[in-house]
Amino acid sequence: MATLFIDNAPYQVKEGKNLLEACLSLGFDLPYFCWHPAMGSVGACRQCAVKSFRDEEDTRGKLVMSCMEPVRDQARISIQDAEAVGFRAGIIEWLMTNHPHDCAVCDEGGSCHLQDMTVMTGHNYRRFRFNKRTYRNQDLGPFLNHEMNRCIHCYRCIRFYKDYAGGKDLDAMGAHNHVYFGRSEDGVLENEFSGNLAEVCPTGVFTDKSLKQHYTRKWDMTHAPSLCQGCAMGCNIIASERYGELRQISSRFNGEVNGYFICDRGRFGYEFVNSEDRIREIGVKGKPEIKDRDSLLRTAAARIREGSVLGIGSPRASLESNFALRKLVGEDNFYHGVADTEFDLVNLTLRILKEGTVRTPTLPEIESADAILILGEDLINTAPRMVLALRQAVRRGPGEALSARMNVPLWQDAAIRQAIQQDKAPLFSITPYPVRQDELATKSLYESPDDISRIGFAIAHAIDPDVTEIKRLSDEERMWTAHMAAVLLRAERPLIISGYGAGSEAVIKSAADVAWALKKSGKDVRLSLTVPECNSMGLAMMGGHRLESALDAVAHGHADTVIILENDLYRRAEKTLVDEFLQKSRHVILLDQVYHQTAEEADVIIPAGTFAEADGTLISGEGRAQRFYQVFVPDGPVQESWRWLQQLAEACGNRTLSHLRILDDFVLEIAKTCPQFEGIEHIAPPSDFRIGAQKIARQPHRYSGRTAKEAHIQVSERKPPSDEDSPLSFTMEGYHGIPPSAVVPFFWAPGWNSIQSINKYQIEVGGPLHDGDPGRRLIEPGDAHTPVFFAEQAAPFPIRPDCLYLIPQYAIFGTEEFSVHSPGIASRSPAAAITVARADADSWGLRDGDLLEFQFNGQEYKLAIQTNQQYPRGMGTLPIGLKGVPFMDLPGWIRLKPVERS
């Protein structure tokens, strides 16, 4: 610790940080623009100037940029010094010379960092008597608006987009005071993290286009702490609503999970909540008169009691909802609504994490890995946020080395970046086809899943001879495995990544073997295994049977009534099987949020709340239990699935859930009865938590129009809904200070209206949040013991004539079930086609766009192909889950129909 004198008062601060961070962490209001806690300092805006004094005697001092100066013991600075105050106001005055006075019509207004900083510096009188600079804006695609006239040239956009996120289509053009931040021409911003620009930009140049369709000021929205349901990363988000419509998703800082940033699927994939495809009403086939909850419950209960029932749980439903279903139908009748292959992969993953010796990494741990091996995983499409973390990781090693050599702190972003040039820490990526992370890799290999696992096992063997030696490796494979093993052994914090993406248990096992072998040799290694959906891990931990068995149970008459929880079975099993299953079931009761093919076949449809209308707990791929909260109470019968199921159980006369009424009851019951979930009761404060006898307000204290906004329906104000499930209130009444970290509905502090107010919620700038980052890890490896390696001899991938090994492929935009309901996301979906090696297509006489006819599991299919020169021979990929692509439980061999050769 160092003693820093600020305006002659001593403070204890951490050495090594910069003065700006130190001042902000101490709670001082010091304006800034170009500095960003995750991106470091470049000293471009010159806004954060303070006076620095040599010693006590020095009365003149000199202006320094606080973001550029490291904290030194006994340093003396002044924030209040008249010259510093005047200079900071001067900078704002300069920035405002060309900034339009359009706050009233600007989307950023009310959550604008520039507004806040302008007020903070006290600049309010205009001396600039000239016309303002103007620019032409660009159409940047479905996610972001562009309004360059508002630009203050802080360079944050390209520093995030280009430097931090690796984007290739946004840059600074031109020079002097006419620099233009944009693309080379109109067009979609391609980077998967582009949406963060709306938060990174300190003013209204880049704003959320989806918000614009139903624009509301930040202060006029109801907010809730929520979780992204787009994949299993568990990114923390803020969901915001007005007039019963979900209007915006923004990132919610969690230092252990997503930091400051989320991906575009997470930010823009929310529109299904407002979609016309939503299930909002109760539907009972043949009984249109049943519209209200009570009659529905009576009808459904009668049907459930009629026969023998089975329940199909869901990896996208909360722990509470799955638990409620399992209780309702009984443990023996609880099945997982996931494809059988996925069931096996996720259960294997869970077993490896639980019984193995290596921990899963948190986000900061991923960012600090110094050697990385990725086996089989196309991460941008299966765990997008991880790619952003890896991008920081590969810079970190070289950055730290240079930081030491040059004696320049790591947060000196520009200096470190210029010195690093293109150097990277080792990252090896072995995948079935070219992937985004290749641009981070020091070496990429494209192999079939079989061969990936063989290479993985061979690396493990090279690290630890106890792992079975893999025979028949090619010379090149042998060379690379030896090299990769040596690099991993040289590292201090190696990271192994694999997961469900390649659809191969062997690949996951080989990743585990590498990690375990490294652990055995004393390395501080981490193992990250992706799983597909937001609660895949929670469902696997809960336990249950395979979907195949559910189909069997109905086929063999062991069950005839089916309750399907938040699931479209046509995405889980092949069509003929699901058709048969649903036809044979006497009653099909579906609880879900959006209409889909299964809903069309269901006899009873029960409208379930989306994440915006429900509370619940999810377990992320990391094994972290986190809570999400309802943002608003929807009109009509929509409510949480767990609540429906509890009421359904009651109506059936099933008393197992009688004592569970509110969310807390479920949470406590799960923690009590399922030891694997012990601890989830502590991840967030209980519903009776109060601060000064107050609940935490979901609405900002400036929320307007409550008494008037429904005046066209009724002039007297409706009683606001109460929330018995959480410590949050649905109104502006309540506590507006800094609540426990798990229940922060939005970030705001006096004078800090924008998302930059996160600073005030952190113990020190950059995190963690006050009282710790939310969530609790439930899976920790067992006590150190000798691992039992998986590796066994396997033959190299065989290329079979007239057959193709088809593996699933995923797309950040397109293969996720709900997010494609956002038109912007849908517009960025890839083509519904099989991709194969060009040489294979040539050998069949096929070209891009030609149709490939094939058989799989006895069914005939016909799909377009596209070719890629870098694909391994004998293998193809298909984006499963994409519109227009029939479900197939891949991977598997498909038999090609003979192509007519002319």
Partner 1 sequence: MEVYRKQGGYAAVEKALKTMTPDEVLEEVKKSGLRGRGGAGFPTGLKWSFLAKPEGVPRYLVCNADESEPGTFKDRDLMVRNPHSLIEGMIVSSFALGANTSYIYVRGELFYVIRILEKAISEAREKGFLGKNILGSGYDLELYVQPGGGAYICGEETALIESLEGKRGNPRIKPPFPAVSGVWGCPTVVNNVETIAATSWIVQHGGDEYAKIGIGRSTGTKLISACGNINKPGIYEIELGLPVEEFIYSDEYCGGIAGGKRLKAVVAGGSSVPVLPANLILKTMAGESRLMSYESLAEGGFVSGTMLGSGGFIVMDEDACIVRNTWNFTRFYHHESCGQCSPCREGTGWMEKVLHRIEYGHGKMSDIDLLVDVAAKIEGNTICPLGDAAAWPVGSAIRHFRDEFEWHVREPRLSQERNYGLAGYADPLPVQAAEA
Partner 2 sequence: MDIDTREIRFSAERLAEVYEIIGRYPEGRQKSALLPVLHIAQAEFDNWLSPEVMDYVADLLGIQPIEVYEVASFYTMFNLKPVGKYVLEVCRTGPCCLVGAEKLQSHLETKLGIKPGETTPDGMFTLKTVECLAACGFGPVMQVGATYYERLTPEKADELLEQFRKENKRATYC
What residue ranges bind partner 2 (CB under 8 A)? 168-175, 180, 183-185, 421-422
Q: Which two tokens stand for residue 311?
A: 């329940």
185 binds, among partner 1, partner 2, none (CB under 5 to 8 A by kind): partner 2
CB of 175 to partner 2, least distance (A): 5
- β-bridge partners, 628: 616
168 binds, among partner 1, partner 2, none (CB under 5 to 8 A by kind): partner 2
Q: How many CB atoms lie within 10 A of CB 562?
A: 28
User: Judged by CB under 8 A, which of 16, 90, 686, 886 binds partner 1?
Assistant: 90
User: Judged by CB under 8 A, which of 103, 188, 414, 803 binds partner 1?
Assistant: 414
Nearer to partner 1, 91 or 619 (CB): 91
Of 177-185, 383-391, 559-567, 888-896: span binding partner 1 (CB under 8 A)? 177-185
Nearer to partner 1, 152 or 512 (CB): 152
* 60 is a contact residue toward partner 1 (CB under 8 A): no
Nearer to partner 1, 177 or 870 (CB): 177
Rounded Cα distance, 643 and 658, in Å: 11
* 576 is a contact residue toward partner 1 (CB under 8 A): no
712 binds, among partner 1, partner 2, none (CB under 5 to 8 A by kind): none
283-284 and 604-607 beta bridge pairing: antiparallel
Q: Which residue, chain included where needed, has tokens 């939005």?
A: 746
CA 595 to chain centre: 24
Of 123-131, 594-602, 608-616, 880-888: span binding partner 1 (CB under 8 A)? 123-131
43 binds, among partner 1, partner 2, none (CB under 5 to 8 A by kind): partner 1
CB of 490 to partner 2, least distance (A): 22
Nearer to partner 1, 128 or 215 (CB): 128
User: Judged by CB under 8 A, which of 12, 57, 104, 405 binds partner 1?
Assistant: 405
Residue 814, φ and ψ in degrees, nearest 5: 135, -40
CB of 158 to partner 1, least distance (A): 11
Are residues 226 and 237 in contact, defined by beta-carbon separation less than 8 angstroms? Answer: yes
* 176 is a contact residue toward partner 1 (CB under 8 A): yes
Q: How many CB atoms lie within 10 A of CB 708?
A: 10
Give the SS3 label for residue 625: strand
DSSP state, 900? P
183 binds, among partner 2, partner 1, none (CB under 5 to 8 A by kind): partner 2
CB of 92 to partner 1, least distance (A): 9
Rounded Cα distance, 891 and 902, in Å: 31
Farthest-apart Cα atoms in the chain, separation: 94
Residue 476, φ and ψ in degrees, nearest 5: -65, -45
* 47 is a contact residue toward partner 1 (CB under 8 A): yes
Residue 772, burial from CB neighbour count under 10 angstroms (0-12, 13-18, 19+)? middle
Q: Which two tokens stand for residue 707?
A: 């008494």
63 binds, among partner 1, partner 2, none (CB under 5 to 8 A by kind): partner 1
Of 414-422, 523-531, 611-619, 649-657: span binding partner 1 (CB under 8 A)? 414-422
Q: Which two tokens stand for residue 901?
A: 């050769």
826 binds, among partner 1, partner 2, none (CB under 5 to 8 A by kind): none
169 binds, among partner 2, partner 1, none (CB under 5 to 8 A by kind): partner 2
User: Judged by CB under 8 A, which of 179, 410, 826, 831 binds partner 1?
Assistant: 179
User: Judged by CB under 8 A, which of 122, 132, 292, 406 binds partner 1?
Assistant: 406
Q: Which residue, chain included where needed, has tokens 């050697």?
A: 371
User: Judged by CB under 8 A, which of 155, 164, 480, 666 binds partner 1?
Assistant: 155
What is the separation, in whole angstroms, between the first and last Cα of the chain? 79
Q: Which residue, chain included where needed, has tokens 């890896």?
A: 390
* 174 is a contact residue toward partner 1 (CB under 8 A): yes
* 97 is a contact residue toward partner 1 (CB under 8 A): yes
Give the SS3 label for residue 689: coil
Rounded Cα distance, 226 and 237, in Å: 5
Give the SS3 label for residue 732: coil
CB of 2 to partner 1, least distance (A): 20
User: Judged by CB under 8 A, which of 5, 11, 28, 94 binds partner 1?
Assistant: 94
* 415 is a contact residue toward partner 1 (CB under 8 A): yes
Buried b (16+ CB within 10 A) or exposed e, 174-207: eeeeeeebbbeeeebbebbbbbbbbbbbbbbbbb
Of 160-168, 310-318, 417-425, 877-885: span binding partner 1 (CB under 8 A)? 417-425
Q: Which of 610, 424, 459 is nearest to 534 (CA)?
A: 610
Rounded Cα distance, 448 and 502, in Å: 9
Nearer to partner 2, 859 or 870 (CB): 870
420 binds, among partner 2, partner 1, none (CB under 5 to 8 A by kind): partner 1
Rounded Cα distance, 163 and 311, in Å: 48
Give the SS3 label for residue 485: helix
Rounded Cα distance, 776 and 779, in Å: 9
Are residues 725 and 663 in contact, defined by beta-carbon separation less than 8 angstroms? Answer: yes
Nearer to partner 2, 17 or 183 (CB): 183
CB of 171 to partner 2, least distance (A): 4
Rounded Cα distance, 501 and 349, in Å: 12
Nearer to partner 1, 34 or 371 (CB): 34
CB of 188 to partner 2, least distance (A): 14
Q: Which residues contact residue 31 at a Cβ distance below 8 angstroms, ignoring those fewer than 6 apart?
A: 47, 48, 88, 92, 117, 120, 121
Nearer to partner 1, 94 or 893 (CB): 94
Q: How many CB atoms lie within 10 A of CB 18?
A: 23
**Length of the chain in residues, anyone?**
902
690 binds, among partner 1, partner 2, none (CB under 5 to 8 A by kind): none
402 binds, among partner 1, partner 2, none (CB under 5 to 8 A by kind): partner 1
* 130 is a contact residue toward partner 1 (CB under 8 A): yes
Nearer to partner 1, 404 or 839 (CB): 404
Rounded Cα distance, 615 and 639, in Å: 10
Q: Which two tokens stand for residue 429?
A: 């990526």
- The residue ranges that bind partner 1 (CB under 8 A) are 42-47, 49, 62-63, 68, 86-87, 90-91, 94-95, 97-98, 127-128, 130, 152-153, 155, 172, 174-179, 402, 405-408, 412, 414-415, 418-421, 423
